[in-house]
């Protein structure tokens, strides 16, 4: 195919699919009270100037847990910590100082930092809060605070950013006599710094977090245990809150750098998910395979907004998966709790026999076998889509991807012992599930499959037609047959043409255009920078958030 013809078509295809997967028109953002933040951190740069010091810049990370704070000084944006000032909020004592490098004084004398920066009050001012009732606050009706005058300081808040559920300043100017401090906040986290679960939840025993000791007693599930050969359904395993948190504590001990997150730029997960060619084509087959599980289909059909607001459902799913894959560990843990709390409310009983699942038997979204199939269908579709559009994965990469997939599953609360032992057995589990009565036709599954393949708006019909053709082409034949998804000559031809066009585009376009914006935003976080305007615009347009993982 001539590239001059192919490039404009495929560019439209990729942009349309990315918009389809993330369009949203929900209610506006309502920020929570910043006084509710118990632990948080902000990263950025600071310019300091007084009568003796002219425009010196440092890079920092401010961490607050309870009343204690740390002001970590970096050697560069997103770099290593070279010094730490720590103290107690609203204390009259100067912060304590610990240095890990002797190069700091060449940038800004440490005594100047200790005596001139009002670090003991930053816990409040960085949240646009007054320290005391004597502060003078300037604020227009229904608008953020624009100015605080307190303790001789004049603090001007020039702009704000959304962090989690909160609206916090991202540009501040503090002035007192001849001292001027300009702070530019690049990113932050608003929770889960000291641990992955609230303190009132039971922590696991030492053997759970000691990886070496745990490995000696680990017992993986076999394919026969997960997919009984006699056609029966495996006994349900419910994930309770304590067990869910035990898995999070295991993850918390496995991840060496919380800023990188669950996977990071060296992971196979990022390699597979980041190209638009894969990210845009995986959701259709993965969701359809999930609906092929009658228990899952029933729970989604009875409880989901997919009937009334399908685009909203897609947008929320995109936010959740995007934050888990690309977010920092505090962001990942926040999403994990949100998903668990949402899923734990989904339960019911079957109104008829469906395959091996009997009438009046209970279903819950937080069940190990159901979640394992969600994970398996997603992983299977991801690997096949990458192979189809991007290229070859080595056996070593597949095993690494499987280990990363297990991290994702543990985040959902799946015990590590419930997984098949390795990638080969995981593939065997996928095949066994599709051939067993555990996955089969159900009215609810068929209705959901039909729903996701119908354009929700008239202006999305062309993009949805592409999505439908690619989805049907990537499904196993038995799923197409059971869900009455026609795959004749014309659909085969158009599917092959579309797949070829996407493959060409993935080779032609640079990563700046061909990789999804969350990938770029996450890399900017690791470099201690903001994402560029183009990728920020894509995230705002698609997910209706100012930023997701940075």
pLDDT of residue 471: 93
Which residue would you say has higher pLDDT here, 1 or 58?
58
Whether 538 and 478 map to the same domain: the answer is yes
CB 472 within 8 A of CB 465: no
Residue 472 confidence class, pLDDT cut points 50, 70, 90: very high
407 within some domain:
yes
329 within some domain:
yes
pLDDT of residue 130: 95
Asked if the model's pLDDT at residue 105 lies above 60, the reply is: no
Q: What is the pLDDT of residues 487-516, one digit of tens each?
A: 999 999 998 999 999 999 988 999 999 999
pLDDT of residue 278: 92
Domain boundary (162, 189, 216) is at 189
Whether 185 and 211 map to the same domain: the answer is no
CA-to-CA separations, 518 to 100, 287, 348, in angstroms, rounded: 33, 21, 36
Residue 201 confidence class, pLDDT cut points 50, 70, 90: low
- CATH code of the domain covering residue 158: 2.50.20.10
Q: What is the pLDDT of residues 373-418, one digit of tens each?
A: 999 999 999 999 999 999 989 999 999 999 999 999 999 999 989 9
Whether 185 and 210 map to the same domain: the answer is no
Please count the structural domains in the chain. Answer: 2
C-alpha R_g of the chain: 26
Residue 200 confidence class, pLDDT cut points 50, 70, 90: low
Whether 56 and 150 map to the same domain: the answer is yes
| E strands present in 89-131 | 96-99
DSSP state of 268: H
Residue 231 sits at φ, ψ, to 5 deg, of 85, 0
Whether 218 and 137 map to the same domain: the answer is no
167 within some domain:
yes
20 within some domain:
no
Residue 9 confidence class, pLDDT cut points 50, 70, 90: very low
Instruction: Please give the residue range of the domain that contains residue 219.
Output: 206-543
Q: Which of 396-410, 451-465, 512-526 has the lowest mean pLDDT?
A: 451-465
Asked if the model's pLDDT at residue 336 lies above 90, the reply is: yes
Residue 212 confidence class, pLDDT cut points 50, 70, 90: very low
CA-to-CA separations, 448 to 305, 393, 483, in angstroms, rounded: 11, 32, 10
403 within some domain:
yes
Whether 91 and 234 map to the same domain: the answer is no
Whether 242 and 342 map to the same domain: the answer is yes
Q: What is the pLDDT of residues 39-70, one digit of tens each?
A: 999 999 999 888 777 778 889 999 999 889 99
Whether 217 and 117 map to the same domain: the answer is no
Whether 509 and 429 map to the same domain: the answer is yes
377 within some domain:
yes
Whether 215 and 345 map to the same domain: the answer is yes
pLDDT of residue 17: 39
pLDDT of residue 20: 37
Which pairing describes strands 56-65 and 68-74: parallel, antiparallel, or unpaired? antiparallel
pLDDT of residue 171: 95
Structural tokens at position 469? 């053709």
Domain boundary (160, 189, 218) is at 189
Whether 442 and 374 map to the same domain: the answer is yes
Structural tokens at position 24? 């949203």
19 within some domain:
no
Structural tokens at position 369? 């076998």
92 C-beta neighbours (distance < 10 Å), count: 6
Asked if the model's pLDDT at residue 338 lies above 70, the reply is: yes
Q: Mean pLDDT across the chain, nearest whole number?
A: 85
Whether 178 and 231 map to the same domain: the answer is no
Residue 545 confidence class, pLDDT cut points 50, 70, 90: confident
Residues of the chain with pLDDT > 90, as a percent, come to 51
Residue 187 three-state SS: strand
538 within some domain:
yes
């Amino acid at each position: 195919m001539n590239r001059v013809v192919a490039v404009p078509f495929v560019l439209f295809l990729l942009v349309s699919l990315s918009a389809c997967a993330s369009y949203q028109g929900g209610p506006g953002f309502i920020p929570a009270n910043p006084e509710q933040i118990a632990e948080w951190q902000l990263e950025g740069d600071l310019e300091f100037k007084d009568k003796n010091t002219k425009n010196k810049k440092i890079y920092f990370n401010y961490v607050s847990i309870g009343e204690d704070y740390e002001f970590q000084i970096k050697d560069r944006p997103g770099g290593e910590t070279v010094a730490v000032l720590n103290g107690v909020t609203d204390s009259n004592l100067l912060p304590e100082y610990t240095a890990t490098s002797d190069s700091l004084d060449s940038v800004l004398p440490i005594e100047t930092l200790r005596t001139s920066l009002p670090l003991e009050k930053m816990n409040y001012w960085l949240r646009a809060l007054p320290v005391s009732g004597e502060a003078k606050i300037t604020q227009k009706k229904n608008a953020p605070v624009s100015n605080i005058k307190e303790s001789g300081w004049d603090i001007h808040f020039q702009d704000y950013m959304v962090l989690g559920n909160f609206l916090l300043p991202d540009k501040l100017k503090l002035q007192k006599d001849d001292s001027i401090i300009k702070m530019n906040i690049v990113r932050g986290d608003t929770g889960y710094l000291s641990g992955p679960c609230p303190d009132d939840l039971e922590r696991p025993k030492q053997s759970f977090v000691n990886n070496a000791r745990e490995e000696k007693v680990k017992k993986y599930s076999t394919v026969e245990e997960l997919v009984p050969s006699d056609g029966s359904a495996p006994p349900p395993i419910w994930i309770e809150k304590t067990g869910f948190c035990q898995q999070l504590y295991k993850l918390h001990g496995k991840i060496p750098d919380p800023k990188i997150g669950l996977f990071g730029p060296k992971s196979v997960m990022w390699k597979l998910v980041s190209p638009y060619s894969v990210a845009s084509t995986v959701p259709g087959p993965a969701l359809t395979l999930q609906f092929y599980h009658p228990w899952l289909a029933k729970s989604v059909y009875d409880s989901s907004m997919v009937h009334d607001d399908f685009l909203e459902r897609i947008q929320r799913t995109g936010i959740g998966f995007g934050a888990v894959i690309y977010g920092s560990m505090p962001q990942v843990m926040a999403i994990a709790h949100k998903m668990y709390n949402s899923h734990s409310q989904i339960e019911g009983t079957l109104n008829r026999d469906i395959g091996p699942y009997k009438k009046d038997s209970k279903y819950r979204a937080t069940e190990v076998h159901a979640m394992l199939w969600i994970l398996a269908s997603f992983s299977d579709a991801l690997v096949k889509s990458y192979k189809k559009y991007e290229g070859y994965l080595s056996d070593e990469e597949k095993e690494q991807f499987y280990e990363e997939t297990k991290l994702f599953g543990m985040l959902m609360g799946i015990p590590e012992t419930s997984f098949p032992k390795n990638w080969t057995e995981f593939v065997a589990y996928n095949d066994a599930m599709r051939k067993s009565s555990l996955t089969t036709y159900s009215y609810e599954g068929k209705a959901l499959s039909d729903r996701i393949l119908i354009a929700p708006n008239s202006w999305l019909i062309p993009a949805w037609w592409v999505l439908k053709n690619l989805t049907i082409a990537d499904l196993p034949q038995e799923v197409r047959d059971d869900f009455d998804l026609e795959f004749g000559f014309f659909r085969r031809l158009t599917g092959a043409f579309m797949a070829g066009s996407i493959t060409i585009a993935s080779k032609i376009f640079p990563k700046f255009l061909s990789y999804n914006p969350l990938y770029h935003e996450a890399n900017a976080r690791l470099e201690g920078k903001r994402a560029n305007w183009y990728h920020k615009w894509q995230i705002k347009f698609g997910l209706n958030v100012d930023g997701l993982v940075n």
